[in-house]
Amino acid sequence: MNPLRYAVYLAPPPESALWRFGSAVVGRDAASGEAQSGFAPDGFDAATWRSMTTEPRRYGFHATIKAPFRLADEASLSDLSAALADLAHAERPFAAGRLAVSTLTLAEAGGFVALAPPTPSADIARLEERVVRGLDGFRAPLTDAERARRDPARLTARQRETFEHWGYPYALADFRLHFTLTNALDESEWIAKSLAREFERRVADPTLVVDALALFVQRPDGDFVIDQRFPLGG
């Protein structure tokens, strides 16, 4: 069994202001694999802030399209890459609205701060469904340990069914695009206001342009890095 996991994410171009902002906030650049330190919004020192971003730092700045999965025994990374390239080639870049700092809640995670479009994008939802369904044949079945870590008792009936069928409870009908910025925090509303000021200062244009799908791979140390970006439309 291959213990490493792969994921399909949205990741802004590494040279963009949005990527630089997100990587600084979470404390690691998933394109270069390098740690980043020194970021701290108003009211925090850098060390305290890093303690509040340990979870998103593992995955890098991203928005989930197909959540991390192990490869099926009969699948290979080259086959997965080829299928993702074909899927991306059939799409066209599009704008998905303006991102804003907000607080979100997932059943098992509590409140956390994220960047998300205030209004759901039908184009994003369509792309997510195509990727989730189109690449699921590469995903290994869930293990008992993976089920236990998700704590299905805290999910809705529909989320449990989605989790069993597609390997992630927040896919398809429960999908909501977001770029996670912090761990689950008790004072997420106040922290979101501080991050919103930083976002406004650092990112002149908050429009999310979806121009590529990124294949992330989990390194042996547990961190995810970008293996390849596949431009939409080829």
pLDDT of residue 185: 87
pLDDT of residue 200: 96
Helix (H, G, I), strand (E, B) or coil at 227: strand
Model pLDDT for residues 100-109, shown as the tens digit of each residue: 999 987 655 5
For residue 165, the surrounding DSSP H or E stretch is helix 157-166
pTM for the full model?
0.94
pLDDT of residue 182: 96
- What total number of domains does the chain contain? 1
Give the C-alpha separation, 58 to 232, whole Å.
26
Model pLDDT for residues 198-220, shown as the tens digit of each residue: 999 999 999 999 999 999 999 99
pLDDT of residue 108: 55
List of the chain residues with pLDDT < 50: none
Mutual angle of helices 77-89 and 122-134, in 10-degree steps: 150
CATH number, position 21: 3.90.1140.10
Range of the domain at 141: 5-231
For residue 210, the surrounding DSSP H or E stretch is strand 207-210
Helix (H, G, I), strand (E, B) or coil at 14: coil
pLDDT of residue 189: 83
Q: Measured between alpha carbons, how far is residue 147 from residues 6, 155, 170, 175, 226 in Å? A: 17, 12, 14, 19, 26
